Amino acid sequence: MELLKLLSANEIVAQVLSFLILFFILRIFVWKRVLGLLDQRKERIASEFNRIEELKAQVGKLKTEYEGKLSAIEEAANRRIQEAIAEGRKINDEARKKAHEQAQEIITNAESNIKYELSKVKEELKDKIIDLTIAATESVIQEKLTPDADRKLVEDFLEKLEDV
């Protein structure tokens, strides 16, 4: 209120008229341009929002595609892993089978070697028994035996058999 006391009525009217004239001049010459610029800016912002929405849609589509591809890649990787596991099991089974066959072959060879060695030892034992029998027979024939000599001869024969 004190401000109104400092100003006179003429000054206030002049100020109001100046403001209205300035307002109409601005409205006629500047207002349309300012509104045009604001409309352009509004359209540009709207087009940017539309573009952003389109990009979001494209990003969503790409994300869906990449998720599908990633899923397919994971499935392929899992399938390959399963194939590798199956192949490993197959190789393991083949190795076990081959090892078993080799073990059987070794056992068969060992059995045949044992049979051969056993027959060889039996043959040697047979030869020694024959030699001992011949030696005992020769000594019996060469000397006249008494019951004590017979007993000693049999004991010697048995000792020789035990050594064999």
Give, to the nearest 10 degrees, the angle between helix 147-163 and helix 32-142.
Answer: 160
Q: To the nearest whole percent, how much of the chain has pLDDT over 70?
A: 88
Question: How far, in Å, are 109, 121, 135 from residue 158 at the CA level?
Answer: 36, 19, 13
Query: Domain residues for 114?
Result: 9-163
Q: Which two tokens stand for residue 70?
A: 């990633």
Q: Is 129 a member of any domain?
A: yes
Q: Is 2 a member of any domain?
A: no
Q: Is 3 a member of any domain?
A: no
Q: Is 51 a member of any domain?
A: yes
| pLDDT over threshold 70, residue 75 | yes
Over range 61-70, report the average pLDDT. 94
Counting every residue written for the chain, the total comes to 164
Indicate the range of 28-32, 82-86, 138-142 predicted with least confidence. Answer: 138-142
Q: Count structural domains, the chain.
A: 1
Q: Is 79 a member of any domain?
A: yes
Q: Is the pTM above the cut of 0.85?
A: no
3-state SS, residue 146: coil
Looking at residue 142, what is its pLDDT? Answer: 67
Alpha-helix residue ranges (DSSP H) falling in the chain: 2-6, 9-25, 32-142, 147-163
Q: Is 82 a member of any domain?
A: yes
Report the C-alpha dihedral over residues 21, 26, 28, 29, rounded to 10 degrees: 130
